[in-house]
Structure 1
Amino acid sequence: MAATIPTKMKAVLQPDKNSHNLILSEVSVPIPNRPDDVLVRVHATSPCKGELDWALWAPEFIGPDKKPIPGQDLAGTVVSAPSTSSFKAGDGVYARINANRPGYAAEYVIARESELAIKPKNLGWVETAAAPISALTGYQGLFTQGSLDHLALKGDKAALEKNAKQRVLITGASGGVGSWAVQLAREAGVKNIVAVVGERNIEFVRELGASEMIVYTRQSIGDWVKEDQNAREVDLVLDCAGGSSLAASWYAVKDGGKLVSVCSVPEDSRPKDVKKTVQSLWFVITPSGKDLDLITGMIEASRLQVNIDSVFEFDQFADAFEKTETGHPRGKVILKVSGEL
């Protein structure tokens, strides 16, 4: 098997962390050097909004010695794995890796065994690449960091009853993370899911499971709450938009509630007139094959659906990243790498 692995590969590089300009280059194929390293041939990846600025925003996470290959979502085929690994050559896998290592906009990549999961059997490579980072962020935002009980996803009656009593608000509900979060909240038994969306995405998020809409072009979150504060305050906000949406979310979360953001530190956006006591946090997801295994089962059972905005060929990498950053995609933007479907 090793003799069939090339020494060079095509990869997208970000030469300057101060610029979003990307280039296609030829670099060496990575060589596994840890006992949990798995070499994977990449078929598709998906850009993540904001990732081209991570080295500036979070230098404590992104070291200066990182090879600047972007792309955090992997769908691919295992090429080689340690003899002790639960994965073997030929396995179809998917993953989200730690951001301090080279990303997946390349023909080959090293993943850690703990990050990998077997891909859903009912999805192709393009659909699989739309899942890892967004599904994991939605799951961990609601359950690991948020106030929902994950046992409800396995049918636990007490957990379903507990979740049914909570009101959840999700900003950026039609986006990559938000569209997964709406579905996961629905599957966890939440009856009151408030989605913050644009005009064109009202029906889209309603079909995903949202029960109420705040159309941000018509009304702010704060104004919506003021119309009936006692009825409209929520137990949990999952912020997937940041900016003004995060600031306005403080008006929606009830005293004693929880505000979780995947974008920035909520306290930095707290309006001066909001005095309530709220558990607030910004979190970075933990790559987890075990969490993805749960997602896999739900996808294969048709309980969760993948939402794709657009698909680009590998030589259209610049367009794919630009669409992700500025195009307000509905669901995920996919970059095909190998050409396989």
Structure 2
Amino acid sequence: MSTPTTMRAIVQTDADSTTLTLRTSPLPTIDSSKGEHLIKVRACAPCAGELLWPKNFPPPNPRELIPCPDVAGTVVSGPDDSPFQPGDEIYARTNYLRPGNARDYSVCVTGEMAHLPRGLSAVAAAAIPVSAETAWQILLIHAGVAGDAEVEFATAQKAWKGKRVLVTAASGGVGIWVTQLATLLGAHVVGTCGTTNVELVRSFGAAEVLDYRRVDLREWAEQNPEKKVDVVIDCIGRKSLQDAWWTVRDGGVVLSIFQPPEQVKPEGLDASGIRGVFFVMEPVRRHLEEITKLAELGKCRGLVDSVWPLEQYQEAFARLNGGHARGKIIFDLSLNQ
């Protein structure tokens, strides 16, 4: 596969600013001894809030600030003994230690990649990795429902069966995956979302859907104590997380991927033994491979909100930052080339 010498790249100008610019840059170089592969990017996806990460969570080693941790593309080159050979179609959530994938060519390592699910386009596949892997790690590791260590899916099904789970922002990128996977595990999922997304969240398996514009979670829990949940899985933080504290039973779990739950634990909450959990996901190849199997069987799916050419990055990030996207914002790098 012939490669050019330069490429397009969206770059964040510095860690203290969320300003982006589209530049022409040289192609990245790879170190095959570290499992690195050069990837021709076909599609990539940003994460909500990621332009704040460099300031709040500075990379340990300075690097070019390129957004979009999710990628789908084609292997150009890599280690000779890699399971991913030139021409293979792959997808991944790449490590924060390296620049992201909003560029024509990027770098993936063996331990974070999986082959593209059969039957999915690159655009559809790019909507999956970070959201699905985050949900997988919530349910099979960090919520602790099946124990203190990672468990297999079949083992987790026994532990989760019949558990009541509240998922905030259930129509968002991570929320739809938590809803789908928790439902597959046998949990009773209660999802929160806006009015226009109620039926969407139901379509992903939620047994109950609460319109956050109409339902006060504290009132809902106090009026129906039997409806309190075993686990809260918060995907949005702040007021939504604070309100969700009222819905969890004594001895339950409040897990957030946005902030440590104790930061917004409401005063006057009369509850005991509730465990707060906060974690940051890590890209893991075997998790993505398990998700690939489920996707190929039609048991779960990603959701694309909208598709943009790389040149319309300002409009795409404005859509993302508006907080009302249904699923993932995707850059299709074949557009406007």
TM-score by length of 1: 0.93
> 1:204 aligns to what?
200
CA-CA distance at 1:34 after TM superposition: 4.7
Alignment RMSD (CA, Å): 1.7
- Indicate conservation of the 8 Å contact 1:197/1:213, yes or no: yes
CA-CA distance at 1:148 after TM superposition: 4.7
2:234 is aligned with 1:239: yes
Counting only pairs closer than 5 Å after superposition, residues 75-90 of structure 1 correspond to structure 2 as 75-90=72-87
- Indicate conservation of the 8 Å contact 1:261/1:283, yes or no: yes
SS of 1:25's equivalent in the other structure is strand
Q: Deviations over 1:205-235 (max 9, x none)?
A: 1111111122110122212111112x12111
- Indicate conservation of the 8 Å contact 1:39/1:109, yes or no: yes
Gaps of 5+ in 2: none
> 2:27 aligns to what?
29
Letter aligned with residue 27 of structure 1: S
Counting only pairs closer than 5 Å after superposition, residues 124-143 of structure 1 correspond to structure 2 as 124-143=121-140
Task: Return the alpha-carbon distance in structure 2 between the equivalents of residues 16 and 58 of structure 1.
Answer: 13
Letter aligned with residue 181 of structure 2: L
> 2:46 aligns to what?
47
- Indicate conservation of the 8 Å contact 2:44/2:72, yes or no: yes
Task: Return the alpha-carbon distance in structure 2 between the equivalents of residues 46 and 159 of structure 1.
Answer: 29
How many residue pairs get aligned? The number is 331
CA-CA distance at 1:18 after TM superposition: 2.5
Letter aligned with residue 130 of structure 2: I
SS of 2:15's equivalent in the other structure is coil
Q: Deviations over 1:272-313 (max 9, x none)?
A: 212422221211101011100001000100000221111111
- Indicate conservation of the 8 Å contact 1:147/1:236, yes or no: no
**Residue 23 to residue 145, structure 1, CA distance change in 2 (3 Å):** same
- Indicate conservation of the 8 Å contact 1:42/1:338, yes or no: no
Task: Return the alpha-carbon distance in structure 2 between the equivalents of residues 97 and 279 of structure 1.
Answer: 30
Task: Return the alpha-carbon distance in structure 1 between the equivalents of residues 71 and 140 of structure 2.
Answer: 23
SS of 1:114's equivalent in the other structure is helix
Q: Deviations over 1:7-43 (max 9, x none)?
A: 2111000103232221100111111125111111101
CA-CA distance at 1:168 after TM superposition: 0.7
Gaps of 5+ in 1: none
Question: Which of 264, 271, 275 is the equivalent residue of 1:269?
Answer: 264
Moved more, 76-85 or 324-333: 324-333
Question: Which of 7, 10, 13 is the equivalent residue of 2:11?
Answer: 13
> 2:70 aligns to what?
73
Moved more, 175-184 or 321-330: 321-330
Question: Which of 251, 254, 258 is the equivalent residue of 1:259?
Answer: 254
Counting only pairs closer than 5 Å after superposition, residues 1-341 of structure 1 correspond to structure 2 as 1=1, 4-35=2-33, 36-59=35-58, 62-63=59-60, 65-149=62-146, 153=153, 156=154, 159-190=156-187, 192-229=188-225, 231-274=226-269, 275-339=271-335
**Residue 53 to residue 246, structure 1, CA distance change in 2 (3 Å):** same
**Residue 63 to residue 337, structure 1, CA distance change in 2 (3 Å):** farther
Letter aligned with residue 194 of structure 2: G
Moved more, 292-301 or 97-106: 97-106
Task: Return the alpha-carbon distance in structure 1 between the equivalents of residues 274 and 135 of structure 2.
Answer: 20
Q: Deviations over 1:149-203 (max 9, x none)?
A: 58674xx4x653432221111001000000111111111111x111011111111
The alignment-based identity, stated in percent, is: 37
SS of 1:78's equivalent in the other structure is strand
Task: Return the alpha-carbon distance in structure 2 between the equivalents of residues 334 and 160 of structure 1.
Answer: 32
- Indicate conservation of the 8 Å contact 2:140/2:152, yes or no: no
Task: Return the alpha-carbon distance in structure 1 between the equivalents of residues 273 and 47 of structure 2.
Answer: 32
Letter aligned with residue 40 of structure 1: I
**Residue 205 to residue 321, structure 1, CA distance change in 2 (3 Å):** same
Task: Return the alpha-carbon distance in structure 1 between the equivalents of residues 255 and 4 of structure 2.
Answer: 44
TM-score by length of 2: 0.94
